Amino acid sequence: MKVVSVVGMTGAGKSEVARLFEENGFIRIRFGDITDEEISKRGLELNEENERHIRELLRKEYGMSAYAILNLSRIDLARKQSDVVIDGLYSWEEYTFLKTYYGEDFYVVAVWASPKTRYARLTGRSNRRLTLEEAANRDRAEVENVDKGGPIAMADFTIINESSLKELKKEVKGVISRLRGGD
């Protein structure tokens, strides 16, 4: 079974792409659930500041491949039933860990949108909304502290998400078709 990881900057459309994979039979695993669970366990409010704090703590404890390590049993369990899509691989170390572990069964789909487009989405979304300043700070932190650019650069497929949901669905269906051996 294949393991497909969706990568991209915040607001690019990773979760939407992962949801579309899920609609096409993939089991979806959201790496950020680990953060949300830890925030809940500690009785903290779910917000950007607490999310960043927990992400940094987990990476300090487990290293930069923390989310791949902490989600590995979930991925392996899901993979027994179906192809898997990972929503939210972040670091180069997570990428290399999963690529080494799954080998030829591991694929990366990068979702790209311009900062202007992403920031408009982030300030307007109903859940996990960010201010312009929070969005820009998160971009800097992800590029400078998490090495997020590496997995994006090494993607097997890249989807440009600058227009409509209809166009995004068409792009995702094309990637899924190629993954499953079509054109």
**From residue 70, how far is each of 31, 33, 115, 155 by CA, in Å?**
9, 10, 30, 22
pLDDT digits (tens, 9 = 90+) for 41-100: 999 998 878 988 998 899 999 999 999 999 999 999 999 999 999 998 888 999 999 999
CATH number of the domain at 3-175, please?
Answer: 3.40.50.300
Find how far residue 151's CA is from the centre of its chain.
Answer: 10
* Strand ranges in the chain using DSSP code E only, listed in sequence order: 3-7, 27-30, 84-87, 106-112, 157-160
Say whether pLDDT at 182 is over 80.
no
Let me know the angle formed at the C-alpha of 146 by 12 and 49, rounded to the nearest 5 degrees: 75
Residue spans of the domains in the chain: they are 3-175
